[in-house]
Amino acid sequence: MTTPARPGSFTGATDNAANGGLFTDTLVDGIPDLIGADVAAAETAATNAAASETAAATSASGAATSATNAAASATAAATSETNAANSATAAAGSASSVAADAATATTKAAEASTSATNAAASETAAAASATTASTQATAATTQANTATTSATAAANSATAAGTNATAASNSATAAAASETAAGNSETNAAASATTASTGASTATTQATNAASSATAANTSATNAGNSATTATTQATTATTQATKAQDYAVKINGVVPSTSDYSSKAWAVGGTGVSQASGAGNAKDWATNTTTTADNTEYSAKEYAIGTQSGQSNGSAKQWALGGGSGFTMSTAVAGGEYSAKYWADQAASSVANFDEKYYGSYASDAAAENAHEAAGKTVAVGDLYYNTTINAVKYCQVAPSGTGAPVGTWGQIQAVNTSSFATKGFAIAMAVAL
């Protein structure tokens, strides 16, 4: 062992486990050194007692007092031991409670493991808190064991102090220090228990948060499911509407399902229920059909324009322009005994030709009029007319010439009747009334 410390100097620095100490606490391991120092002091005191009885008596009296103090110290140490044991029991209880809380936290964390990523994070935090609580419980148990060891050392010191007054005084001091250490250990144990309780509370909170996160995740999953259902419904509706739109566009074999409507294509180029249907007919038939009616009643625009169907009794525009029948013959009536425009134009042209046969135009003499008419390949006939520019009067043929060239027929002048000798309007009226 190292050199003993001076009596009363309880530093704990003069002994340790490596040098044969009995305890792991360096403060407690210093007690044997102190006791050794006390023993040496007692030997010196005995020698001095032999030299002086008075000093011995005084020392004895002091020893008795020291013994009384040592007993008190022993009692205090026992109390410290009891308190330390209670602290250990409380710490163990706290540790058990913390362990239970940690188990609960672990269970809650396991329940939360099915939640979303945030729930998993909360579970991890809870598990970490549980681990921290378990560590704190272990620390509390260690502190309790330390307190028990310190209490045992204090009891041993009290016993040793009973054999020597001076040693008892020093032992009392050591016991007080041990009591303080025990109190500190108890405080540490309480603090550890508090820390463990806090850790357990934190673990419970984290577990609660994890459960809340799991609930939120379940709610989100439910919402996602509802959204998926809604999306599916909307997709089905969209598909139905797309099919309906397609039917409205191209269906030609009947009406659009669940409606009384036909498609655009059916109305455009034909389809069941539209083509040649009464009150219907497709656009193509109304525009170009020349073989039958468009709607079992009326004919197409093309038929009315250029058609020749016998059922179309009013005649087409082409027939009215050129002539009736399928060959658009000018001399064939179009409808109701009426003829085409071409027919009447031809008739008008014939009338003009006939007029040219009757009226020659303006000439200076009868011979000039006859020669011009005959030169056009025409024949002078009775009743023919021309205007004589010499006398400014219309003349008419009374006797046709015989032959052509020099022979000239007889032409008379058409004169106005002289009415100067006629009765006046008033006289005529009066006579008419009188008669």
Distance CA 183, CA 149 (A): 13
DSSP codes of every residue in 326-346 = TTTBTTS--BTTB--HHHHHH
Q: Which two tokens stand for residue 378?
A: 């025409």
Output the CA torsion 281→282→283→289 (10° steps). Answer: -70
Sign, CA torsion 129/131/135/140: positive
Residue 239 lies in a domain: no
Q: How many domains does the chain have?
A: 3
Residues 39 and 98 in one domain: yes
Alpha helices, H only, 12-52:
26-29, 31-51
Domain-located, residue 241: no
397 and 322 part of one domain = no
Residue appearing with tokens 């309780």: 197
Angle between helices 117-161 and 165-250 (to 10 degrees): 170
pLDDT at position 165, please? 46
What is the rounded distance in angstroms from the CA atom of residue 50 to the CA atom of residue 45?
Answer: 9
Tell me which of 228, 251, 274 is where a domain ends.
228
Residues 176 and 129 in one domain: yes
Which tokens sit at 97?
């409670």
Domain that holds residue 392: 346-434
Bridge partners of 397? 411
CA distances in angstroms from 89 to 92, 100, 153, listed in the order given: 5, 16, 19
CA distance 349 to 360: 17
Residue 109: the pLDDT is: 45
Residues 220 and 171 in one domain: yes
pLDDT given at position 271: 94
Q: Is 270 helix (H, G, I), strand (E, B) or coil?
A: coil
The whole-angstrom separation of Cα 152 and Cα 74 is: 11
Identify whether 255 is part of a domain.
no
Whether residues 135 and 102 fall in one domain: yes
Residue pair 55/48 in contact by the 8 Å Cβ criterion: yes
Same domain, 160 and 51: yes
- DSSP state letter for 380: -
Enter the tokens of residue 101.
Answer: 């809380």
Q: Tell me which DSSP letter residue 285 carries.
A: H
- Is 393 in the same domain as 322? no
Question: Residues 97, 158: one domain?
Answer: yes
Position 26: which residue type? T
Residues 221 and 339 in one domain: no
Q: How far, in Å, CA of 108 to CA of 208, rounded?
A: 8
> Does residue 409 fall inside a structural domain?
yes
Residue 268 sits in the same domain as residue 379: no
Q: pTM for this one? A: 0.39
**CA-CA-CA-CA torsion sign (205, 208, 213, 214):** positive
Quick count: other Cβ atoms within 10 Å of Cβ 298? 12
Residue 418 falls within a domain, yes or no? yes
For residues 22 and 132, membership in a common domain is answered with: yes
Spatial strand order of the sheet with 359-363 comes to: 359-363, 385-388, 393-399, 410-413
Half-sphere exposure of 283 (CA within 13 A, CB side): 8
Regarding whether 204 and 88 lie in a shared domain, the answer is yes
Q: How many CB atoms lie within 10 A of CB 360?
A: 21
Domain-terminating residue out of 304, 322, 345: 345
Tokens of 51: 């030299």
pLDDT by position in tens, the chain (length 435): 454 444 444 444 445 555 555 545 555 456 556 556 666 766 776 677 567 566 446 545 765 665 576 566 567 656 756 774 675 575 466 446 545 654 664 565 456 455 446 544 644 654 565 476 457 547 545 754 764 565 565 456 546 545 654 654 564 575 466 568 657 866 875 776 687 678 778 878 988 998 898 899 899 999 999 999 999 999 999 999 999 999 999 999 999 999 999 999 999 999 999 998 988 999 999 999 998 999 988 999 999 998 888 788 888 999 899 999 989 999 999 998 899 999 999 888 877 778 878 999 999 999 999 999 988 888 899 999 999 999 999 999 999 988 666 668 899 999 877 777 777 777 777 777 777
- Which one-letter DSSP state was computed for residue 385? E
